Amino acid sequence: MKVLITGSPGSGKTTIADALSTAGFNSYDGEAVDGLIRLEIATTGEPADWPEGHVDWDYYAWNIQADVLTKLLASKEAIFVAMSTSNLSEFKPYFDKVIVLSVNNEALGRRLRARTTHEFGQTETNIQRWVDRNRSVTEKHAQEGGVVLDSSKPISEVIQDILSVCGIAA
């Protein structure tokens, strides 16, 4: 089974991917997979260097590279991949299940402001952009067939919810 775990930045994708891996599952944070996702110029698809300070997401895109995703998914029979990208909708058909991590706006803002592991989200403009878009992002993923799970619960409960949705005994 191929499972995509997605949601707004700060919804807990990396934390859940790490917890699934620790529990013995083939689980990957998409941003940690070499070459899977890259920053591009949105209009051309050309690779871009990460800008300093504010990231203008009308100019840039955070895109999956199809060849790398195809290799990753072919390498494991059961796999969880956690990521959120500009072109994610195009790749949802590669997965058997889509899990959408959802968190309320207050918690999302708090998580993004406390973040130290990602370059993204470090400016107040970017944080506020995602807080403002959080609900619509979750709704879009749900409309595209994703199963929405509350990621504000303890990690162990979120893992149990994911495994249950996937029909996997813990």
Kindly indicate the confidence band of residue 129, based on its pLDDT and cuts at 50, 70 and 90: confident
Kindly indicate the confidence band of residue 6, based on its pLDDT and cuts at 50, 70 and 90: very high
Cβ(148)–Cβ(134) below 8 Å: no
List the CATH number of the domain containing 141. 3.40.50.300
Mean pLDDT (whole number) for 61-86: 94
Kindly indicate the confidence band of residue 121, based on its pLDDT and cuts at 50, 70 and 90: low
**Per-residue pLDDT at 75 exceeds 60:** yes
Do the domain assignments include residue 144?
yes
Q: How many structural domains comprise the chain?
A: 1
90-114 pLDDT, tens digit each: 999 999 999 999 998 888 888 888 8
Residue whose entry in the numeric block shows the structure tokens 């207050």: 106
Do the domain assignments include residue 53?
no
Residue-level pLDDT at 15: 93
Residue-level pLDDT at 118: 57
Do the domain assignments include residue 15?
yes
Angle at 17 between CA 142 and CA 15, to 5 degrees: 95
Domain extent, residue 25, equals 2-33+66-165
Do the domain assignments include residue 56?
no
Residue-level pLDDT at 57: 83
Give pTM, 2 decimals.
Answer: 0.88
| β-bridge mates for residue 100, sequence order | 6, 148
Do the domain assignments include residue 135?
yes
Residue-level pLDDT at 165: 96
Kindly indicate the confidence band of residue 56, based on its pLDDT and cuts at 50, 70 and 90: confident
Residue 100 sits at φ, ψ, to 5 deg, of -110, 115
Mean pLDDT (whole number) for 56-60: 89
Do the domain assignments include residue 138?
yes
**Cα(92)–Cα(78) distance, integer angstroms:** 16
Do the domain assignments include residue 52?
no
Residue-level pLDDT at 120: 55
3-class SS of residue 54: coil
**Per-residue pLDDT at 34 exceeds 90:** yes
Number of Cβ within 10 Å of residue 169's Cβ equals 5
